[in-house]
């Protein structure tokens, strides 16, 4: 799947550029975008170092295990493969909470911590586990209570009621979160119903 999308984006891009007579832009774009990718990672280093340190303090203080214990009923339904009270759940909850509050730059380090914990439970290290797929589905569909960035843009553009979009945003994210959780549960029970895990995916 990801192979096809990647091929489609690059081959499609080059083909269209060739037809539009923008072929010299392609070379320039390749090198520019490669540099951008590295720059984003470099910007992440400081953020990741800071939050990974803070998270270690929280872990040693027992906060992550406590969070995992609090959401045990949810864990059983959404993440049947994760043992109850596993620290992975604590990190997942912190990531989802940060997403809900619109704290983008804290959410990523929390999420990566959760992925590390999930990877410890993964029998095939180069293939996504069911729990990882569920976690990423939750993460990308996550309900948002405070869309601070876009409210800021609206205020700057002189809106007379900048926050009127908050309620519709909560509705739309709530709907997509519910929809994706249902799909994931259905998909998992379909996998369980005798279909062997297809490793080619």
Q: How many Cβ atoms from other residues are within 10 Å of residue 50's Cβ?
A: 13
Contact 191, 131 (CB under 8 A): no
Question: For residues 22-41, which are near another protein according to CB under 8 A?
Answer: 22, 25-26, 29-30, 32-34, 36-38, 40-41
Residue closer to another protein, measured from CB, 72 or 163: 163
> Binding another protein by CB under 8 A: which of 74, 80, 159, 192?
159
136 near another protein, judged by CB under 8 A: yes
Which residue do the tokens 């997509």 mark? 176
What is the spatial distance between Cα 170 and Cα 193, in angstroms, rounded to a whole number?
Answer: 35
163 near another protein, judged by CB under 8 A: yes
What is the spatial distance between Cα 18 and Cα 29, in angstroms, rounded to a whole number?
Answer: 14
Residue closer to another protein, measured from CB, 75 or 173: 173
85 near another protein, judged by CB under 8 A: no
Interface with another protein (CB under 8 A), residue total 105
Q: How far is the CB of 84 from another protein (least distance, A)?
A: 22
- Cβ-Cβ contacts under 8 Å for 34 (sequence gap 6 or more): none
65 near another protein, judged by CB under 8 A: no
Question: For residues 5-24, which are near another protein according to CB under 8 A?
Answer: 5-6, 9-10, 12-17, 20, 22
> Binding another protein by CB under 8 A: which of 70, 72, 83, 179?
179
Residue 36: enclosing H or E segment and its boundaries? helix 23-60
Q: How far is the CB of 75 from another protein (least distance, A)?
A: 19
Which residue do the tokens 């509050």 mark? 101
Closest CA relative to residue 129, chosen from 184, 182, 77: 184
Using left for φ > 0, alpha for ψ between -120 and 50, and beta otherwise, residue 197 falls in beta
Q: How far is the CB of 152 from another protein (least distance, A)?
A: 8
């Amino acid at each position: 799947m990801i192979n096809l999308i990647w091929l489609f984006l690059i081959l499609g891009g080059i083909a269209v550029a060739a037809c539009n007579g923008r072929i010299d832009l392609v070379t320039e774009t390749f090198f520019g975008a490669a540099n951008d990718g590295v720059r984003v990672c470099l910007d992440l280093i400081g953020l990741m170092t800071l939050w990974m340190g803070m998270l270690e303090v929280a872990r040693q203080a027992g906060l992550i295990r406590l969070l995992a214990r609090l959401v045990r009923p949810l864990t059983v339904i959404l993440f049947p493969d994760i043992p109850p009270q596993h620290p992975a759940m604590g990190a997942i909850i912190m990531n989802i909470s940060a997403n809900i509050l619109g704290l983008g730059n804290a959410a990523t380090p929390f999420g990566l911590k959760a992925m590390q914990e999930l990877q410890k439970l993964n029998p095939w290290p180069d293939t996504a586990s069911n729990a990882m797929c569920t976690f990423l589905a939750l993460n990308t569909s996550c309900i948002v209570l405070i869309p601070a960035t876009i409210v800021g843009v609206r205020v700057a553009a002189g809106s007379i009621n900048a926050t009127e979009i908050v309620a519709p945003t909560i509705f739309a994210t709530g709907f997509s979160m519910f929809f994706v959780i249902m799909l994931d549960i259905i998909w998992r029970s379909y996998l369980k119903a005798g279909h062997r895990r297809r490793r080619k995916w």
